[in-house]
Amino acid sequence: MIPLPARYCALLVPIFVSLFAAESPPRPNILLIVADDLGYHDVGFQGGRDIPTPHLDRLAASGIRCTDGYVSYPVCSPSRAGILTGRYQQRFGYEFNPKWDATAATHGLPLSETTVADSLRSAGYTTGAIGKWHLGAHPQFHPNRRGFDEFFGFLGGGHRYLPGSIVEVEVGAGKKGTTSGDAEQASPLLRNTTAVPEVGELTTRLGEEAAAAVTRHARNAKPWFLYLAFNAPHTPLQAREDMLKKFSAIADARRRTYAAMVATVDEAVGRIVTALEATGQRERTLIFFISDNGGPMTKRNANASVNSPLHGQKGDVFEGGIRVPFLVSWPARIPAGRTYTQPVISLDILPTALAAAGATRAAALAPLDGTDLLPFLTGKNDSAPHARLFWRMDGGEAFAVREGQWKWLRTYQNAPQLFDLAADLGESRDLATARPEIAARLAAASAEWNRGLIAPAFGNNPFGGLINRTGLEKNSAP
């Protein structure tokens, strides 16, 4: 073999470097945005008209809107446990909201579970969490101990939006008060573990903190992961005066305030995307946007949301409780302006993020229930990401399973029902009697899935105290 002259070798070096760079693009930044109790129909990209959401609509246009996007639980904290672990949270006993109690060492995300932040930090990412935690108030559950390098927010499940305001909370059936719930609403804002003053409206401040983090980390060599967890538009219904004035034409005072809160979330998202663009990071940032569950239209903590055309609401395994706005945007990899109609679930976020980052989980860890969506969203795989999706509520008081167009469910003491979602999105025509073979197949699949779950590790009823789990064994099977 005749060696090449040195001058030719020098010319070939940049060619090889260029080819290597083309095959190994920079790892993306990853931004996960979660709204709280957002109605399915309350943003423009979902068909809403009375609440303009131009920034979220632009985000939807820049990527893919998953029309059949679900969460793994229709209530705040268990849903978030599923999002951050990529596993059905009932596998590790997380089926109720935890108590607001810094001494409750069992009320939180079990230390045996690995979060998306744990895995991405191990892969060399800088990790941050901003906003609502709600995965345990005991110090061992603090975000800084669950894979997040940085944290700004509050540890509870809710927080007042306006500094110094008194929040009226439910303390019993039909009764109001300002007991422990108000203490949670007025709990300290934390920067890591240090309390900081409440300054300005909360959603606005969370957006400012996120935009500042995006700008600050643009100067770092390492990619970053940011979990931005809003508590809006969850109650209490509070908003900035200038936002309220924008919706003065809405006659209903609750809906007017709710609209102002949703618009403030949209404004905050716009501020973050602007920061990404200004720092040249937008093309290489993978963004997810979802709500943690459906809107609570009439139940406790109702917030004047609208889930049309779905049936049900937060706390239900009907579509209105578990189907949510679901966006994925990554300009460098994912096509823009499309919809994806196969069922996907919030458990898919973790494996999708890890795949995008080129990160892996230790083989010894429990297997994930989510699926990497990138091959499906980019068109490389035209099959369905999931054969079936499952739900269980309250230790077995309610179940649901979706398989293609079919959805089977049993709610509390009611008879099982079967719906054809392709023809009946509003779940108004029960076909369990007309199609008994499908109902039986899905009931059996739900029972088989349930055998891989455990009983709730803790319970917390809406008015404080532990749920009476008498009868759990009786109700634990579909």
The encoded tokens of residue 341 equal: 């109609």
Catalytic residues: 76, 134
Closest CA to 240 of 262, 213, 210, 211: 262
Position 210, amino acid: A
Bridging pattern class, strands 389-393 and 150-154: unpaired
Neighbours of 315 (CB within 10 A): 21
Q: Which two tokens stand for residue 109?
A: 């995300």
Task: Determine if residue 277 is left, alpha or beta; phi over 0 gives left, psi from -120 to 50 gives alpha, anything else beta.
Answer: alpha
From residue 120, how far is each of 25, 114, 125, 290, 366 by CA, in Å?
17, 11, 5, 20, 17
In 163-201, alpha helices (H): 180-185
Residue with tokens 């900081």: 196
Largest CA distance in the chain: 90
To which residue do tokens 């300005």 refer? 200
Q: What's the 3-state SS for 267-293?
A: HHHHHHHHHHHHCCCCCCEEEEEEECC
